[in-house]
Structure 1
């Protein structure tokens, strides 16, 4: 399936802007990039021409056409890997450093396995090896790793760290997650919805839970693709207002906030949830459990959506908290296809970053 016929004239060409975000925990102190993020190279260093021209930091750094091209590449690459095509090694001879200050088995495995299956070699750099702003300045790390690798992937806490990494790197930097956003996850989600429903655009996607980094990336996708996004959350847990405004200003999708989850999921094509207390917020778990009553995705909530609605979760799930075991294991659940698609979507992203798609 190719890019739909409707064409968007949205382009990003104005300079980088930053804004302070509302802080809900000590680990969520970061800065976000508002509207106007440029899609061109943003580093202070001169990029090596053998590399691609793009970092992958936020979904809406790219046009609608570019995002669909990445998803198309992901789909085609998935087909080749499923067919065990050993001749397809576009990353042969290439290396990637994977920086983790925020641990994750799923992110490491999906990136490392995907890069290997496409012929490349990925190097894991854990929290004890890379300590941003402690053992070595981020701008120094960026330039050193750029001299060794064709690509850098980073999964970090503070969003400003990945922005500084990208500012000084001379090879593409891929955002594996920050406290502000999680663009690779949402690319995997979009790929999964496309595979299951035959479309992403003209759908109603309802996220039930905290207005967190997953929500912010969904909002940024809605600023590029025309679909309806609803964030159903308790009062006080809304997503960043500036990111909501991106969608309102885009003319692409729509975004609203609801504090009534059962009403929000009516006519939904997708119901999506995540843990109520993310990594670094576990001390808030008990308080959040009380405040999030009525926001558990259970069988009754799924029944309020379309009969064909998909259930999605970025995992790991706390079964019995934000969702039930029956929903995760139910006929509408696509969480494990979604998890596998992290690897395929990321492959599509990386190939485009390197100019190989």
Structure 2
């Protein structure tokens, strides 16, 4: 059987995604009860980071260890990848040595080329196009707190970049309505807008976008690699800061999420993560549990070979 890659939420069926999220909830319960569960004993995850990371690195590394396996951290400074070895060559070699690979990169093409040359599953740990692992955690967090997200309304406030693209894919796969509030010139990629169809709309006024929403979410205004645009972005995005007052316009039981790291005083007011409606810390923790469910799903368990 060919490897199951996870480069976007569209690589799995809607049922598979729900299954992974529900499994994440079960694995979280096992961990909270102190149950040792090691289906991936002797399995190894190779992790390639072209961008810095806190949550992605720790959640994948800790997740593999908790599942009985190991994770190897590879940075461009320490490997031939940073010295120009072709991606295809690296994929052919690495995939003969490890059981899965996770890559955090800039260009999404790096992922597609690696996947095309890999014998083992490849996971997108973030690219300039999307961040599907974060969406697994976000969906798990919503389901834990509020039940099914199907038919609900989500407001994305901020930059129509990789996280927003993944929210569009999630709207399709998890069947919710998505309102995107972004300044002119910061819209999501038209390919993603076309994919979203009538589930997704751009609403210029952030207040209108948030009005009645069940989930309000945002991300930093300046992503990694865009630092030179910071001043210009701050000016364009100033009206899009999510505050407690803006959140008051949402549904009475609305949740607020942020994939972190947060720039308090920019995309969110200084006090927003302390608001009882914010579930950002649960959301961050759920990266661990959702990704463990993902790893369990795509890596062949050790006992198949026993």
TM-score, normalised with respect to structure 2: 0.95
Q: 2:263 aligns with which of 315, 318, 323?
A: 318
- 2:188 is paired with a residue whose SS is coil
2:130–2:166 CA contact under 8 A, matched in 1: yes
User: Does 1 or 2 have the higher relative contact order (CA < 8 Å, sep 6+)?
Assistant: 2
- 2:7 is paired with a residue whose SS is coil
Matching of residue 84 in structure 1 with residue 34 in structure 2: yes
- 2:174 is paired with a residue whose SS is coil
Matching of residue 61 in structure 1 with residue 6 in structure 2: no
Matches within 5 A, 1:235-250: 235-248=184-197
Offset, 1:133: 7.3
Matching of residue 175 in structure 1 with residue 120 in structure 2: no
Whole-angstrom distance in 2 between the partners of 1:81 and 1:127: 33
- 1:169 is paired with a residue whose SS is coil
Any stretches of 5+ residues in structure 1 without a counterpart?
1-48
2:258–2:280 CA contact under 8 A, matched in 1: yes
Matching of residue 121 in structure 1 with residue 70 in structure 2: yes
Whole-angstrom distance in 2 between the partners of 1:78 and 1:308: 24
RMSD, aligned CA: 1.3
Q: What's the counterpart of residue 208 of structure 1?
A: 157
- 2:217 is paired with a residue whose SS is strand
Matching of residue 285 in structure 1 with residue 230 in structure 2: yes
1:101–1:130 CA contact under 8 A, matched in 2: no
- 2:271 is paired with a residue whose SS is helix
Offset, 1:165: 0.6
Matching of residue 342 in structure 1 with residue 287 in structure 2: yes
Matches within 5 A, 1:110-259: 110-130=59-79, 132=81, 134-248=83-197, 254-259=199-204
Offset, 1:97: 0.5
Count of residue correspondences: 301
2:259–2:284 CA contact under 8 A, matched in 1: yes
CA deviations 1:171-219 (Å, max 9, x no partner) are 0001100011000001100000000111121111101000010011111
Return 228-237 or 75-84, whichever deviates more: 75-84
Whole-angstrom distance in 2 between the partners of 1:306 and 1:130: 49
Q: What's the counterpart of residue 274 of structure 2?
A: 329
- 1:312 is paired with a residue whose SS is strand
1:297–1:322 CA contact under 8 A, matched in 2: yes
1:151–1:172 CA contact under 8 A, matched in 2: yes
Whole-angstrom distance in 2 between the partners of 1:355 and 1:72: 19
Q: What's the counterpart of residue 73 of structure 1?
A: 23
TM-score, normalised with respect to structure 1: 0.82
1:132–1:161 CA contact under 8 A, matched in 2: no
Whole-angstrom distance in 2 between the partners of 1:204 and 1:129: 44
Offset, 1:242: 0.9
Whole-angstrom distance in 2 between the partners of 1:135 and 1:288: 33
CA deviations 1:83-113 (Å, max 9, x no partner) are 1112x10111111110001111211101100
Whole-angstrom distance in 1 between the partners of 2:182 and 2:208: 12
Offset, 1:77: 1.1
2:155–2:213 CA contact under 8 A, matched in 1: yes
- 2:194 is paired with a residue whose SS is helix
Q: What's the counterpart of residue 101 of structure 1?
A: 50
1:296–1:321 CA contact under 8 A, matched in 2: yes
Offset, 1:290: 0.6
Whole-angstrom distance in 1 between the partners of 2:295 and 2:72: 15
Offset, 1:355: 4.7
- 2:128 is paired with a residue whose SS is coil
Q: List 4+ stretches of structure 1 deviating above 4 A.
A: none
Whole-angstrom distance in 2 between the partners of 1:177 and 1:153: 9
